[in-house]
Chains A and B, each alone.
Chain A
Amino acid sequence: MKKPFSYFEHDADIGIVGQGKTVEQAFESAARAVFSIMTNLDAIHARDEIRVEFEETDLEFALVIWINLILGKARESGMVFNEFHLQRNGQYWHAEVSGEKWREEHERGVEVKGATFTMLSVKQNPGGWEARCVVDV
């Protein structure tokens, strides 16, 4: 089952919220929130996989690094991602992200330029983890 995500209002940009039982799942949901701004993820086939990794101890910084890293990798490879599997071992984060190259028939939404520190928070609630920030569009 896909992890839940949602959006919140911001003056000029878009706020994203990812939720999950673990912090990694909340980050995966946040990633789906970001790529759903750009296209309909249900129409994307997870044909190709890319591995990414980074190092960060601060959870809030890690969210910004994660989102910006996969946005950069997507642009570098000309791809759009729809599946995200993230693992953390202390400060080391490893992920496999999957998707495909942009095709003519893909729905074109709004390009997300990057995650920002605006309204940035990563916290554990009674029901699980929540990761949120504003993304620049």
Chain B
Amino acid sequence: MNLDQLKQLQSYLWTLPHASTEQRAEVLLYGNAALLKSMDDKVLEQIANVARLPGLVGAAMTMPDAHWGYGFPIGGVAAFDAEQGGVISAGGVGFDISCGIRCLRSTMTVQDAAERFAELADALYKTIPAGVGEEGHIKMNPAQLDQVLRGGAQWAVKAGYGTTADLEFVEENGCVTDAIPENVSDLAKKRQRGEMGTLGSGNHYLEVQFVDRIFDQVAADAFGLNEGQIIISIHCGSRGLGHQIGTDYLMMLAKAANRLGIKLPDRELACAPIKSSEGQRYIGAMNAAINCALANRQILTHLTRETFNTVYPNIHLDTLFDVSHNILQKRAPRS
């Protein structure tokens, strides 16, 4: 990205000045000069397009990890006011709805664990299927899947995957309300029947990591982290169900935008007003996918614990956090 077109506001905050005839909201980009220089020009084009959408509140923003996405840049953030004609976009949420990170904190150090890493890797590979064409060991019937879509990680804990202590450190305590499984297509549900407890492929992973260096001791103490400590990061989302909802509603919203005469700077920004029937249907389905992802990461946490305990008896893995990054959340405006 060429920084000449930007104006620096603070050390890590930049804006894209308006052209004289340009009708759009403010664009803010977070990051240092080196990060922004390394970004694709498409990021700037896409976030400027987001700033033209109806009902945007404040600025359209990009985070330091922004890159070329589907209509919205990945790492893009925007708020829309339902009362001001604000819109909802499937591309803004992303195809892998509620993709996120579950981080587990162990009670052992890399020195304690290193000798049995190969054994651990083999055991994890057997317990947690990953990659194209792989199915999980858990099979869901339609009624069970609907319970997952309503109950999220809370359903998983009740079913014996993990403990209630995990839920304290998961967004929304592991379950979003207003999920409507009836808004999810049969194909989406069928795709998920064999996918609970699986990681998927692409950039999804389960990594055994360790704390290499501490930069902020106060924050590290608050998180209960020490140098050398083993932590586990699980990156995955709502699997086949979420992808199918994303694609089903991308098409529905594209047609709604045409029907409602919403002028889109880019067809990928396919969107409908939050208050429209299409917008409301999408929100119900998207919340169901969020619960699916939260349940899946809870199941993966449980499987990870079981596997670790076969290799390292008596060690504990506590949930440090679970945060989604492909998500739409309803928030009251700040007074």
Contact partner of A116 among B67, B95, B187, CB < 8 A?
B95
**Chain B contacts of A64 at CB under 8 A?**
247, 250-251
Could you say which residues of chain B place their CB within 8 Å of the CB of A39? 132-133
Tell me how many residue pairs across A and B have CB atoms closer than 8 Å. 85
Q: B63 to nearest A CB, angstroms?
A: 16
Contact of B325 with A by CB under 8 A: no
- Report Cα–Cα, A120/B268, bound state, in Å: 10
What are 20 inter-chain pairs, A to B, with CB distance below 8 A? Answer: A10-B68, A12-B67, A12-B74, A61-B251, A68-B247, A72-B190, A72-B191, A73-B187, A75-B191, A102-B133, A102-B134, A108-B133, A109-B132, A110-B202, A116-B70, A116-B250, A117-B267, A117-B270, A136-B70, A136-B95
A64 to B96 CA separation, bound complex (whole angstroms): 17
Q: Chain A: residues with CB nearer than 8 A to chain B?
A: 10-12, 38-39, 61, 64-65, 68-69, 72-73, 75-76, 78, 80, 102, 106, 108-111, 113-118, 120, 136-137
Kindly provide the distance from the CB of B273 to the nearest chain A CB, expressed in whole angstroms.
Answer: 20
Complex partner residue of A12 from B68, B91, B132, CB under 8 angstroms: B68
- Given the contacts A75-B191, A75-B240, A137-B202, A11 and B132 also touching, CB distance less than 8 Å: no
Within 8 Å CB of A120, what residues of B? 267
Chain A residue at smallest Cβ distance from B39: A11
Q: How close is B300's CB to chain A, nearest CB, in angstroms?
A: 17
- B40, B131, B202, B254: most-surrounded residue (chain A CB, <10 A): B202
Q: B133 contacts A110, CB within 8 Å?
A: no
Q: Which residue of B132, B246, B247 contacts A108 across the interface (Cβ within 8 Å)? A: B132
| Nearest-neighbor residue (CB-CB) of A106 within chain B | B133
Query: Is B71's beta carbon under 8 Å from chain A?
Result: yes
Bound together, the chains give a CA A67 to CA B315 distance in angstroms of 46
Q: Are B251 and A11 in contact (CB under 8 A)?
A: no
Residues of A within 8 A of B246 (CB): 114
In angstroms, how far is the closest chain A Cβ from the Cβ of B265? 13
Question: CB of B296 within 8 A of chain A?
Answer: no
Tell me the chain B residues, 190-226 only, with Cβ under 8 Å from chain A.
190-191, 193-194, 200-202
B322 at the binding interface (Cβ < 8 Å): no
A41–chain B nearest beta-carbon distance, Å = 13
Specify which chain A residues have a CB less than 8 angstroms from the CB of B201 in the assembled complex. Answer: 110-111, 137
